[in-house]
């Protein structure tokens, strides 16, 4: 049987996973998304077009690749239909190519109202969620009263579940008449959209194992980044779905013996969206320069991303917990023009934590020489300036994993393979 290749982000998300999954999908039979929901944003540029995906697997941009969504993801039926239509409007059909696990949990419209109120109640302790109802969906999953896609095939049970969660939102938030009417309108759209999406319902585990048995390569695509994982990330400023490589097996229904490659995606600097600790953050002109050069604004929310120097300690930590066999370094071209670049190689006092005391970490930096030559779109390693190559070597050394490829631009083929 053909092995599974897992692709995960090693920072706080937005590392360029979508672009690299699309690039790798050239040789794949299927790409399967294994975590998160519509709170994620993967951007792919191909054939002169720019695609912004949220839950759909990035591999669907390639017309001969099957796209799958695993059971550990959460799905807003209305949102995913909008994504599907957006692809179709750009000439990319998912007909007979999209398979969604019947076990996936659905985001009821009331969950968004609950999450927004919850964030508001936190005041100064806000997590910085996208407000898309992801957290409440996972909460109900573990309370064992969530709505699954497969529930739509039992109409009576499905409507009963939907009504329960509608009433729960109304009662918990004390909605007035206008708010209730707005919610009920959204619920009607939710019911209709679920019926439409049900055509893609599938036993994803069985489908993946069939592809593997036929010697097809499956790429398991993660969402967000390892530092947002609820177990291993910067808790409590994390997401609710697991972001590390091990979650692929659980969500997609294959055993760990099927995995031979885990590729970690690292941005050449560090970014973060929302609240939470960020040891190497540059809240100054340098940070703003990186933001503008890298177009660092959220695909899902449009929020400006916080920017900072590359954190080698966190990179090494993430590579370890994911069992990475290789690393792809992205957005190296964004650092062109800096006289000097810094990499965090440790923290004062040799301290390390990803918990509530993470904001107390003080980075220790190594300074490297910058370069001025434009490397955007470069595809040959030997054509990179010596300073750029030394920067890659420094990342490789502290991450402890070979950097096998370097992305030098947003285009599908703007990649250097070493």
Q: How many whole angstroms separate alpha carbon 159 and alpha carbon 175?
A: 21
Q: How many alpha carbons fall within 13 Å on the CB side of residue 375?
A: 27
Would you state the structure tokens that stand for residue 274, as one six-digit string?
């929302």
Partners of residue 59 on adjacent β-strands: none
Q: How many whole angstroms separate alpha carbon 215 and alpha carbon 209?
A: 10
Would you state the structure tokens that stand for residue 357, as one six-digit string?
């005391």
Please, which residues have CB within 8 angstroms of residue 295's CB and are 6 or more apart in sequence? Answer: none
- The reply to whether 14 belongs to the active site is yes
Residue 283 exposed, middle or buried by CB count within 10 Å (0-12, 13-18, 19+) = exposed
Please answer whether residues 296 and 307 qualify as being in contact, where contact means their C-beta atoms are separated by less than 8 angstroms: yes
Q: Hunting for tokens 């997401």 — which residue is that?
A: 239
Q: How many alpha carbons fall within 13 Å on the CB side of residue 297?
A: 6
- 3-state secondary structure at position 400: coil
- The reply to whether 42 belongs to the active site is yes
Please, which residues have CB within 8 angstroms of residue 15's CB and are 6 or more apart in sequence? Answer: 9, 225, 265, 266, 267, 330
Q: How many whole angstroms separate alpha carbon 401 and alpha carbon 392?
A: 11
127 alpha carbon, distance to own chain's centre: 17
Q: How many whole angstroms separate alpha carbon 271 and alpha carbon 278?
A: 9
Please, which residues have CB within 8 angstroms of residue 161's CB and are 6 or more apart in sequence? Answer: 145, 147, 151
| Vertex 93 angle, CA 89 and 94, to 5° | 130
Q: How many whole angstroms separate alpha carbon 51 and alpha carbon 140?
A: 31
280 alpha carbon, distance to own chain's centre: 21
Ramachandran region, residue 411 (left: φ > 0; alpha: ψ -120 to 50; beta: rest): beta
- Active-site annotation holder among 23, 42, 165, 232: 42
- Which are the catalytic amino acids? 14, 42
């Amino acid at each position: 049987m053909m092995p599974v290749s897992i692709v995960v982000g090693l920072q706080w998300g937005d590392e360029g996973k979508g672009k690299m999954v699309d690039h790798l999908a050239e040789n794949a039979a299927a790409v399967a998304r294994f975590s998160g929901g519509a709170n994620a944003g993967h951007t792919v540029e191909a054939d002169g077009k720019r695609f912004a995906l949220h839950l759909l697997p990035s591999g669907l941009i390639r017309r001969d690749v099957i796209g799958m969504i695993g059971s550990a993801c959460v799905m807003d039926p209305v949102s995913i239909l909008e994504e599907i239509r957006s692809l179709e409007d750009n000439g990319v059909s998912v007909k007979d190519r999209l398979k969604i696990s019947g076990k996936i949990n659905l985001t009821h419209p009331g969950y968004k109202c609950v999450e927004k109120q919850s964030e508001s109640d936190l005041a100064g302790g806000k997590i910085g969620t996208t407000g898309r109802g992801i957290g409440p969906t996972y909460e109900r999953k573990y309370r064992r009263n969530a709505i699954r896609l497969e529930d739509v095939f039992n109409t009576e049970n499905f409507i009963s579940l939907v009504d329960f969660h509608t009433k729960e939102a109304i009662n918990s938030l004390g909605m007035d008449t206008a708010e209730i009417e707005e919610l009920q309108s959204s619920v009607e759209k939710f019911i209709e959209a679920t019926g439409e999406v049900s055509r893609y319902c599938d036993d994803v585990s069985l489908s993946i194992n069939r592809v593997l048995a036929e010697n097809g390569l499956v790429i398991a695509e993660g969402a967000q980044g390892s530092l947002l994982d609820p177990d291993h990330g910067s808790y409590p400023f994390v997401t609710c779905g697991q972001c590390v490589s091990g979650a692929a097996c659980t969500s997609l229904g294959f055993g760990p013996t099927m995995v031979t490659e885990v590729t970690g995606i690292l941005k050449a600097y560090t970014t973060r969206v929302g609240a939470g600790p960020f040891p190497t953050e540059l809240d100054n002109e340098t940070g703003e320069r990186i933001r503008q050069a890298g177009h660092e604004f959220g695909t899902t929310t449009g929020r400006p991303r916080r920017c900072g120097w590359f954190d080698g300690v966190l990179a090494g930590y993430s590579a370890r917990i994911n069992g990475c066999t290789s690393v792809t370094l992205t957005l190296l071209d964004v650092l062109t023009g800096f006289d000097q670049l810094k990499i965090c190689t440790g923290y004062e006092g040799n301290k390390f934590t990803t918990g509530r005391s993470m904001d107390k970490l003080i980075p220790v930096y190594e300074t490297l020489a910058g370069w001025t030559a434009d490397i955007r779109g470069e595809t040959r390693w030997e054509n990179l300036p010596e300073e750029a190559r030394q920067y890659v070597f420094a990342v490789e050394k502290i991450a402890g994993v070979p950097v096998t490829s370097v992305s030098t631009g947003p285009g599908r083929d703007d990649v250097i393979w070493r």
